[in-house]
Chain A
């Protein structure tokens, strides 16, 4: 029985290693060929307008665009609402901008505080393959980062859909998120961190130089077992991501901790840019049958 358990641990390790080596290729959604970029415009009185541009590199016409909509999870993401919008009165004049032939509306979800913004057209303004259409915009009362980093969804003329993250125009924008974790042995966790460049500009010489582990509940201190810092991630094209595996020693007395990665990258102009990203992690203590047979 123990040998089976050891074999499973080894097998799991091999799988994780292969995922790491394969990197972006195994993690990415099937690419749609569509890109939606966003830029920010600061207005008088602290108001902010977000402008969206759709590049249709697919073979299908686009008949609808949604901002703040993650199609594959089926959730809306905007909890800051367009300026002047309410359920009863709808959108106020000028807060949602549209290209010719397109009309916007705010879509709520029952039992939820989150909304998305949707544009449809009258049948004369579909975004044809190979075309780019701009002039979609949302104005909010104050800066709201969710409008720069949320998902978009497009619906194609054949009633299929695609959904990906926005890309921000300008510099690279480095973010990191936990995507998987397992416990190879007591008090040790292997955590896969997906590092993404969600900006438009490419990132080169991306380095994680610091990892701060802070206990948020419980007691004791988590430490990094591997890899040794600094970790050179390398180059990330706009929209690309890669996976970094961290092995953490976390005492059973730690109930919750934060991970904060800090580092630097070079933008397209060669400018050195800093980044910081943080996550909360709940170690699962006493995992039964981990690596073994139920």
Chain B
């Protein structure tokens, strides 16, 4: 028997007050149920942004390496499902964010999002998985915003289906839905930061070299000494970053990317909020932050410039085992060789 839990009263109250604060129809759409199904490993919660869900088992990293052997007993075989049921009434707009984390290739495990109406199934996200046919490496997508108009389905019932296909091999996959709500703006709000370390960064303490990996700390000490001996200085703009903070940076950039040329009034409040965050973090229109699985979140990268010329600085960095892997697209980014 699938695990079912219906949150009718709470959700009706929540979304009756919050979701349709602007331009509320006389009888707005309401969420009537949130239900788990399939092979299990589904959790959900609600907060001021709406319904959040985690679909799929996500508790054991895959340690078999690229295209490695099975890990028995840590991944279900089949679909984990989350349903969000909506009575459309006079219509409206559903919006949410989604994200995928996986150790598996997209031909084995994947994430589908659809909307079932009385007459058809509308595919919203089809077969989202790690690109390519390899498995065993970590991959995650950014938080992607999506909206779906409900106005074609007035006075009908629709069901949003969040489905994660898992193959039982041991390389787990997690699908997430964040901030599912019925609102007038097509862009969901920013995900709140709950991680205390990320909050410290959010409050302005953004350069953390103490949490770099030991070999990076040793290399940095070496380089600072070498640059000082050459009468130069180093300006570090970023080192270790908590994954939750990195996710936040990417989400702010992606939201601003959607909202900066917004031509309608519905999102004005969110646009102002996101613009403020974009400017406060000093983000650039021409550089998208990385997702949360990269070297900075592992304490394995430093972004820095030197007062020395590149011709002087790069050999010193190399002497200290630091290289620039992406000189064309990310020239301030250094990692251990």
Interface set of A (CB-CB < 8 Å, partner B):
8, 26-30, 61, 63-64, 71-76, 81, 86-88, 105-115, 120-121, 123, 126, 155, 157-161, 178-182, 191-192, 255-256, 279-282, 284-294
Residue pair A179, B69 in contact (C-beta under 8 Å): no
With A72-B144, A73-B131, A74-B254 already in contact, the answer to whether A159 and B326 are too (CB < 8 A) is no
- Whether B181 sits at the interface, judged by CB under 8 Å, is no
Residue pair B168, A74 in contact (C-beta under 8 Å): no
6 A-B pairs besides A107-B287, A287-B70 with CB distance below 8 A are A26-B123, A29-B126, A157-B261, A157-B264, A284-B70, A288-B169
Interface set of B (CB-CB < 8 Å, partner A):
39, 67, 69-70, 72-73, 75-78, 105-108, 110, 122-128, 131, 133-135, 141-142, 144-147, 165, 167-170, 185-187, 254, 257-259, 261-264, 266-267, 285-291, 294-296, 301, 326, 328-331, 333
Residue pair A27, B77 in contact (C-beta under 8 Å): no
Q: Which residues of A contact B295 (CB under 8 A)?
A: 111
Q: Which residues of A contact B286 (CB under 8 A)?
A: 87, 105-108
Q: Which residues of B contact A113 (CB under 8 A)?
A: 326, 328-329
Q: Which residues of B contact A61 (CB under 8 A)?
A: 263
Pick the residue among A159, A255, A289, A294 that contacts B187 (CB under 8 A): A159
Residue pair B333, A110 in contact (C-beta under 8 Å): yes
Please give the distance in Å from B3's CB to the nearest CB on chain A: 16
With A109-B288, A159-B267 already in contact, the answer to whether A288 and B72 are too (CB < 8 A) is yes
Please give the distance in Å from A283's CB to the nearest CB on chain B: 9
Nearest A residue to B165, CB-CB: A180
Give 27 CB contacts A-B under 8 Å: A8-B78, A26-B123, A29-B123, A30-B122, A63-B263, A73-B128, A74-B291, A81-B328, A87-B328, A105-B285, A110-B294, A111-B294, A113-B326, A113-B328, A113-B329, A115-B329, A120-B261, A157-B264, A160-B145, A161-B145, A180-B110, A255-B67, A282-B67, A282-B133, A289-B77, A290-B77, A290-B167
Please count the residue pairs between chain A and chain B whose beta carbons lie under 8 angstroms apart in the complex: 178
Pick the residue among A8, A110, A161, A180 that contacts B107 (CB under 8 A): A180
Nearest A residue to B238, CB-CB: A110
From DSSP, what is the main secondary structure of chain B's interface residues? loop
Residue pair B141, A112 in contact (C-beta under 8 Å): no
Residue pair B133, A281 in contact (C-beta under 8 Å): yes
A161 to B146, CA, bound (A): 8
Residue pair B167, A282 in contact (C-beta under 8 Å): no
Please give the distance in Å from B174's CB to the nearest CB on chain A: 16
With A111-B296, A280-B133, A288-B72 already in contact, the answer to whether A181 and B261 are too (CB < 8 A) is no
Residue pair A157, B263 in contact (C-beta under 8 Å): yes
A30 to B147, CA, bound (A): 12
Q: Which residues of B contact A72 (CB under 8 A)?
A: 125, 128, 144
A103 to B336, CA, bound (A): 38
Residue pair A291, B77 in contact (C-beta under 8 Å): yes
Residue pair A284, B108 in contact (C-beta under 8 Å): yes
Please give the distance in Å from A221's CB to the nearest CB on chain B: 19
Q: Which residues of B contact A159 (CB under 8 A)?
A: 185-187, 258-259, 262, 267
A88 to B332, CA, bound (A): 11
Q: Which residues of A contact B77 (CB under 8 A)?
A: 8, 289-294
Pick the residue among A27, A71, A109 that contacts B290 (CB under 8 A): A109
Residue pair B261, A63 in contact (C-beta under 8 Å): yes
Residue pair B170, A288 in contact (C-beta under 8 Å): yes
Q: Which residues of A contact B326 (CB under 8 A)?
A: 111-113
Q: Which residues of B contact A86 (CB under 8 A)?
A: 328
